[in-house]
Amino acid sequence: PSVVAPFSGADTLGEAVAGSDIVIVPAGVPRKPGMTRQDLFETNATLNANFADAVAKNCPKALVAIISNPVNSTVPIFAETMKKHGCYDPKRVFGVTTLDLVRANTFVAEAAGVDVSTIKIPVVGGHAGASILPLLSQSTPAVKDKLSAEQVEALTTRIQN
């Protein structure tokens, strides 16, 4: 059985994760307009290191799903912190990048005039700017023919940023 209880603030973090089998880390702030990935990283890196400390001390065998952006940077920070505590297991710490898929599906559906619940845009690569590659030509259903070359370029940039 699982128990849900309220916790608030950094001083209760250890208690909040104590004995957990699964920890989901959405900690951090979302990227705001005008905020660079570096700004986002600087804010969220410390929060993720604090979570890693709490997990290492209170539930070192937990599976940890990290959602905090930028995921390609926050996962290594979490891993390095766990290594410092001597409890890192690469099969138990992973990043969740569903956001790129949701962004691609939403933005392309809007531009192509289709229902977002019916579209699937594969996204490959990393989770940082130009390394995010939406495969618009592989969408289901096919929508690239509904978009101009300028729209494809603008959508790709929008999905990456």
Q: Which residues are tagged catalytic?
A: 127
Residue that has been written with the tokens 């005008």 in this structure? 34
CB 135 within 8 A of CB 141: no
Give the span between the Cα atoms of 37 and 43, in whole angstroms.
10
Task: Report the distance separating Cα 140 and Cα 119, nearest Å.
Answer: 6
Q: Which of 44, 29, 99, 30 has the alpha carbon at shortest distance from 77?
A: 44
Which residues in 123-156 are b (16+ Cβ under 10 Å) and which e?
A: bebebeeeebbbebeebeeebbeebeeeebeebb
